[in-house]
Amino acid sequence: MGQPVIDYWFTTGSTYNYLTAMRLPQVAASTGLAFRWRPFDLRTLFDERGYFPFPKGSPKTVYMFRDIERRAAWHGIPIALPVPYPLPDSLTANLVALLGIREGWGIDYIRAAYRRWFQEGQPTGVDPNLSASLAEIGQDSERVLALATSAANRAALAAETDVARSIGLVGSPSFVVDGEVFWGDDRLEDAVAWARHGTLAAATAERARIEGTPAGY
């Protein structure tokens, strides 16, 4: 039997997900593992719980951005802070991401949109980021927006969010391997170890392997 597929759950409004989106293709290539990119609407789950983890201007939010800045430097990923946060329209960003994953161009779009957000200060889900990121990967923004905001695609995102709710996801990015949930970009190596060995005993070795992999930005 082959190694399990890792479900990579994320929302495009997630700041820490910038790190994962930039480095995951190279991690997949170096480990030989398959990752299934699954956008969902984390903000809906937060609203249901009456909770938002990083209020604007709070000490926790200040820490979050410094943490991301340090980790980006560690992985060799360009970053230019401050960036707009929270996003004005994370729902549209998630709808476009989901459509793109289903049509086969989603990963390229997500990474292009994150680069514009974290390197150029343009929030995802709105112009100029949205149109420019779609144009970069050869997609017509008018066609994409019509399909992304359709009732069918909205229902598809709601269905994925229902699955995320049933799993008990609490944040983005999250990695699910055989029912085991690993939350956070810093748990990616743990998820890889679990997928390859069924235990965290090899996580240190996997971390060393992945840390030697250049980030793709």
How far, in Å, CA of 110 to CA of 102, rounded?
13
Enumerate the β-bridge partners of residue 8.
Answer: 37, 175
pLDDT tens digit sequence for 166-211: 999 999 999 999 999 999 999 999 999 999 888 776 656 666 666 6
pLDDT at 217: 46
Q: What is the distance between the alpha carbons of residues 77 and 82, in angstroms, rounded to a whole number?
A: 15
**Residue 5 DSSP label:** P
Contacts of 142 (CB under 8 A, 6+ apart): none
> Confidence band (pLDDT; 50, 70, 90) for 213?
low
Among the CATH numbers 3.40.30.10, 3.40.50.2300, 1.10.287.70, 3.40.50.150, which is that of 6-211? Answer: 3.40.30.10
Provide the pairing of β-strand 174-177 with 6-10. Answer: antiparallel
What pLDDT sits at residue 7? 98
Cite the beta strand spans of the chain per DSSP E: 6-10, 35-39, 174-177, 180-183
Residue 2: which pLDDT band, with cuts at 50, 70 and 90?
Answer: low
Q: Mind listing the pLDDT tens digit for each residue in 35-55?
A: 999 999 998 888 788 767 777
